[in-house]
Amino acid sequence: MYILTVEDSFASAHQLRGYSGKCENLHGHNWRVVVSVRGEKLNDTGLLVDFGDLKKILRAILADLDHRNLNEHPDFLTENPSSENIAAHIARRYADKLAPIPGPIFLESITVWESDTSRCTYIPAR
Ligand SMILES: [Zn+2]
């Protein structure tokens, strides 16, 4: 089993609905996102998948979240843009983009850091 990991980041604002505390107010984060994929079968070049392809997928997903108020994003109009829900959102989109890549290659985990000391890891059901 091989596990490949890439990371990227984005900046956005959010506020938590139904939350009592300072996170109910609009504020921003520089989110760091770490993605790991797994697979067993290497291609003829000796790669599970090109790191560049993994980064390209992540960049495209994060571009949709970058420099905006996440509460106004269509996927977070009712669901809170918490670190947990953001990780699951990225995981769903990432898994869809991995599916056509020969392998098979599976999404292992998505970790979303909302600060240097707070992060959420989402592991899709196997
Ligand atoms: Zn926050």
Confidence of residue 126 (pLDDT cuts 50, 70, 90): confident
Instruction: State the pLDDT at residue 54.
Output: 98
In terms of Cβ atoms closer than 10 Å to its own Cβ (0-12, 13-18, 19+), residue 32 is: middle
In contact, 30 and 47? CB cutoff 8 Å: no
Q: Output the CA 85–ligand 1 centroid distance in Å.
A: 12
Domain 2-122: state its class: alpha beta
Question: How far apart are the CA of 16 and the centre of ligand 1, in A?
Answer: 8
Cα–Cα distance for residue pair 76/72, rounded to 1 Å: 7
Q: Which of 112, 17, 103 is nearest to 58 (CA)?
A: 112
Dump pLDDT digits (tens) for 35-46: 999 999 999 999
Helix (H, G, I), strand (E, B) or coil at 36: strand
Q: Could you tell me which of 62, 45, 44, 52 has the C-alpha nearest to residue 4?
A: 52
Cis amide bond preceding 100, omega within 30: no
Q: What is the pLDDT of residue 119?
A: 98
Domain boundaries, the chain: 2-122
118 Cα: distance to centroid of ligand 1 (angstroms): 10
**Mean pLDDT on 73-92:** 97
Given a cut of 90, whether residue 32 has pLDDT beyond it is yes
Using 50, 70 and 90 to split pLDDT, how confident is the model at 69?
A: very high
Name which of 33, 34, 29 is nearest 115 in CA terms.
29
Percent of the chain with pLDDT over 90: 94
